[in-house]
Amino acid sequence: MLVVDDLDAGYGDLQVLDGVDLTVEEGEYVVIVGPNGAGKSTVMKSIFGLTTYFGGRIEFREERIDGRRPENIITYGIGYVPQNDNVFSSLSVRENLEMGAYILDEVPQDAMDAVFDRFPVLAERQDQKVATMSGGQQQMVAMGRALMLDPDLLMLDEPSAGLAPDLVDDIFDRIDAINDAGTAVLIVEQNAKEALRRCDRGYVLVQGANRYEDAGDALLADEQVRQDFLGG
Ligand SMILES: Nc1ncnc2c1ncn2[C@@H]1O[C@H](COP(=O)(O)OP(=O)(O)OP(=O)(O)O)[C@@H](O)[C@H]1O
C-alpha cells in the first residue's frame, strides 16, 4: 500500500533522513520506534508532504506521492495526526470534526456518526470547547478529525504521549479497534514495548536510518533490540 524507498529528507538545508525504507501493507499495523531525534516524526511528516525532500521515492498504491502537498495527500486516503497542535482548541468538538472534512463541499454525516460511535464521549460533548477537555479526550478529537475522511491509512505520531497510564491502554485499544475495522495504521511511539506488542511489524530507526525491521514479537524478543532500545 505504502512504499517508502531510500528516502532522504529533512528541513531546509538540513538532511535528517538518510536512505529510509519502509512499507505498510493494506490493513497492516506498523510501528516506528527509536531514540529521541532519530527522525521518526520526520518519516511521517515526509509521507504527508511536510518536509524538504532530497531524494528517494514514496508511493501510495503504486502512485508517486513524494513532492505533493498535504491537502493533495489526504485525497489519497491518508490521514495524519501530528504529535502537537493536533486540535483546534478554541473550537468545539463538532467544529474540529467538521474541519477534518474541509476538503469536501459538505460535511459527511455518516463519517461524523461513525466517529461518534467510535468515541461516544465526543458525541456527548460535541458542543464543548476542546481546550476544556482532558488530554485523552483531545487525542480522541484529533483521531476523530483524521477519521472524518475515512482514510485507508491512518498515521499517528505518539498518540499516547502525555497520557496517564490507564489512558495509554485505552488509546492503544482504540487504535487496535480502528485497525481491526480494516484501516492500516502507522504509528510513531515512545511507548515502544506496548506498541511492538500490539503491531504486526516494527521498525527501529536510529540517526535517520533503518536499524532493525521485523515482526513486533520478533523485535521484542531480540536481545540486542531489548538492550539498546527497550530498556532491557
Ligand atoms: N521543523 C524542524 N526544523 C529543523 N529541524 C528539525 C525540525 N523538526 C525536527 N528537526 C530535527 O530533525 C531531527 C529528527 O527529529 P524528529 O522529530 O523526526 O525525531 P524523532 O525520532 O521523532 O524524535 P522524538 O522521539 O524526540 O520526537 C532532530 O535532530 C530534530 O532536531
Give domain limits for the chain.
1-77+154-232, 83-150
Residue among 39, 44, 65, 51 nearest 159 (CA): 44
Rounded Cα distance between 226 and 17, Å, is 23
Rounded Cα distance between 189 and 198, Å, is 12
Res. 127 pLDDT band, cuts 50 70 90:
very high
What average pLDDT score do residues 155-176 get?
A: 92
Q: Whose CA is nearest to atom 5 of ligand 1?
A: 11
pLDDT at 60: 98
pLDDT at 83: 92
pLDDT at 165: 86
What average pLDDT score do residues 105-132 get?
A: 95
What average pLDDT score do residues 138-157 get?
A: 96
Tell me: pLDDT of 130 over 80.
yes
Q: Which atom of ligand 1 is nearest to the CA of 10?
A: 12
State the distance from the centre of ligand 1 to the C-alpha of 127, rounded, in angstroms. Answer: 35
What average pLDDT score do residues 167-184 get?
A: 95
Hey, what's the cell of 22?
Answer: 519502509
What's the complex ipTM? 0.97
Residue among 157, 148, 6 nearest 77 (CA): 148
What average pLDDT score do residues 220-228 get?
A: 94
HSE toward the beta carbon, residue 152, CA cutoff 13 A: 12
- The chain-wide mean pLDDT, for the chain, equals 95
The residue whose CB lies within 8 Å of the most ligand 1 atoms, and thus the one to mutate among 4, 8, 15, 41, is: 41
Topology of the domain comprising 1-77+154-232: Rossmann fold (3.40.50)
The residue whose CB lies within 8 Å of the most ligand 1 atoms, and thus the one to mutate among 18, 32, 40, 229, is: 40
Q: Which atom of ligand 1 is nearest to the CA of 208?
A: 14
The residue whose CB lies within 8 Å of the most ligand 1 atoms, and thus the one to mutate among 7, 8, 11, is: 11
pLDDT (tens digit, 9 = 90+) per residue, 19-50? 999 999 999 999 999 999 999 999 999 999 99
Alpha helices in 75-134 (DSSP H): 93-100, 109-118, 120-124
Tell me: pLDDT of 232 over 80.
no
pLDDT at 90: 96
**What residue ranges in the chain does DSSP mark as E strands?**
2-11, 14-24, 29-33, 52-60, 63-64, 78-81, 153-157, 184-188, 201-206, 209-215
pLDDT at 162: 85
Tell me: pLDDT of 72 over 90.
yes
State the distance from the centre of ligand 1 to the C-alpha of 41, rounded, in angstroms. Answer: 7
Q: Whose CA is nearest to atom 3 of ligand 1?
A: 11
State the distance from the centre of ligand 1 to the C-alpha of 32, rounded, in angstroms. Answer: 14
* Dihedral over alpha carbons 48, 52, 58, 59 (to 10 degrees): 50
Res. 100 pLDDT band, cuts 50 70 90:
very high
State the distance from the centre of ligand 1 to the C-alpha of 37, rounded, in angstroms. Answer: 5
> Which residues lie with the beta carbon below 6 Å from any ligand 1 atom?
11, 14, 16, 34, 36-42
